[in-house]
Amino acid sequence: MLKNVAAVLLDEVHPFELGVVSEVFGLDRGDDGLPVYDFAAVSAEGPTLRTHAGFTISTPYGLERLEEADLIAIPTGGSYEVRDYPEELLDALRRAVDRGARVLSVCTGAFVLGAAGLLDGRHCTTHWRHTQALARRHPRALVDPDVLYVDEGPVITSAGTAAAIDACLHVVRQEHGPEIANQVARRMVVPPHRDGGQAQYIERPLPRTSCDTVGDVLSWMERHLDRELTVEQLADRAHMSPRTFARRFQQETGTTPYRWLLRQRVLLSQELLESTDDTVDAIAGRAGFGNAAGLRHHFLRTLGTTPNAYRRTFRGPVRGVA
């Protein structure tokens, strides 16, 4: 059970990324019945550190505090990708993983995990601007530039800035279940990220955009995910030719109508698996996959896990599961 969390601070730490970790794990929300963690900000380079924004941070905690942590988070810093790190810190991270603790990097914090050898042979990610540098510096790491975050065993790596929120909520979801994670998300006024169960790669749900021409059609598609939808039908609703509609859709959402529908249907399926007792067949029908076989196929292909395995992970045994 996750009880003890430490955030490692190096010089030029980014305040926002440190703030995300502190917000999720450092605030006492016990009055709302939410988990309370023993949280500490730990300095790896002296009691007073500069932030990337120009002000300083002081903390009484040193690296010895890592020895009792269940989760060690490493927020990003201004020059992490081109510097060396205290060997004492790298040793402490390796010992933590060896004893069963987890480590979580935010953005270029992944370079610290790489220096400790914890990315060797593991899938990982960082901010897209730094993925090539991470791969060059740590050639044994399996760097994926296109994902929001990666959870592989005890090592969790996330992309830049707000991706830290999703990665931290993912940890809360794993430890305490979706209801608690959703409550924390509501307190933070952020959308809960519905991740991919046992899959290593957690894809970002497609962003809401202020669409100029297809926004109304997107809203209609969301309300009718259970229907058989074709580009011709959607184009007709938008009063466009199918070719023009497909081009505008790609421009304004960054993906095709088919891929957009598939992702939204998978997200709806995840929500129903977590929050209802419906059978997999019933969920497949409501989400537009037709039957359980279709849902399993797309679930496995998209998330790397099955609907039943996802439900067991995030909701526990449920009545009436097909």
Span 178-233, pLDDT tens digits? 788 888 988 888 866 544 323 323 443 444 444 567 888 888 998 899 999 999 99
Q: 65: which 2 tokens?
A: 């505090």
User: In the prediction, which pLDDT does 71 show?
Assistant: 98
- CATH 3.20.20.140, applies to 206-322: no
Decide which of 36 and 200 is more confident. 36
Collapsed DSSP state (helix, strand, coil) of residue 149: strand
User: In the prediction, which pLDDT does 139 show?
Assistant: 95
- Give me the DSSP letters along 55-93: -EEE-SB-GGGGGG-SEEEE--BTTGGGS---HHHHHHH
Percent of the chain with pLDDT over 90: 59
Provide the pairing of β-strand 149-152 with 155-158.
antiparallel
Decide which of 79 and 203 is more confident. 79
What is the maximum span of the chain, computed from C-alpha positions, in angstroms? 65
Q: Closest Cα to residue 184, out of 30, 15, 9?
A: 30
User: In the prediction, which pLDDT does 315 show?
Assistant: 64
281-304: pLDDT as tens digits:
999 999 999 999 999 999 888 887
Compute the 3-state secondary structure of the chain and give helix, strand, coil in percent, each to the nearest 5: 45, 15, 40
Alpha-carbon gap, residue 257 to 142, rounded angstroms:
30
Domain 4-202 has what CATH class? alpha beta
User: In the prediction, which pLDDT does 317 show?
Assistant: 43
User: In the prediction, which pLDDT does 226 show?
Assistant: 92
- The model's pTM: 0.66
User: In the prediction, which pLDDT does 64 show?
Assistant: 96
Is residue 24 predicted with pLDDT exceeding 50?
yes
User: In the prediction, which pLDDT does 119 show?
Assistant: 97
- Give me the DSSP letters along 198-238: T-SEEPPPPPP---SSSHHHHHHHHHTTTS---HHHHHHHT
Q: How do the domains of the chain map onto residue ranges? A: 4-202, 206-322
